[in-house]
Amino acid sequence: MRGRGDIVGSIAAGGAIGALARWGLAELIPHGTGEFATSTLIANVVGAFLIGVLMVVVVEVMQPTRLVRPFLGVGVLGGFTTFSTYTLDLHEMLREGHPGAAAAYLVVTLVGGLAATAAAIAVTRHLLVREGAQ
């Protein structure tokens, strides 16, 4: 931990921001116990997309910095995405007798997140090359 307080602090600050954004989304698009959790799905897929954008920009474009990835990647986007809630939602859908919705939620979240990340990487690289940023 010695010499890393700034990193831990940036992760904590980013995590608070991301968690508040996720809470706001859940308030905007609420769901009941055992219902399809649209807000969680959106948070995870949008978060996966933003992680793809962030990694291209941070790794391929920006000069190395100590706090950008911990703050934005681990903190903000780690706090915004919520795979723990995703698994709880799956469990509740199954418990409430909705195996079809649970299976759809499982597949759409996983495939959607992977596709969103891949699309973000491709689109970000394309836009940056077009703009001459790389």
Residue 9 CA to residue 78 CA, distance in Å, equals 14
Is 79 annotated in a binding site? The answer is: no
Alpha-carbon separation of residue 120 from 1, 31, 41, 52, 62 (angstroms): 33, 28, 17, 5, 17
Is 47 annotated in a binding site? The answer is: no
Three state DSSP letters for 3-52: CCHHHHHHHHHHHHHHHHHHHHHHHHCCCCCCCCCHHHHHHHHHHHHHHH
Residue 89, both tokens: 């939602």
- The amino acid occupying position 88 is L
Going by the annotation, the residues of the binding site for Na(+) are: 78, 81
Going by the annotation, the residues of the binding site are: 78, 81
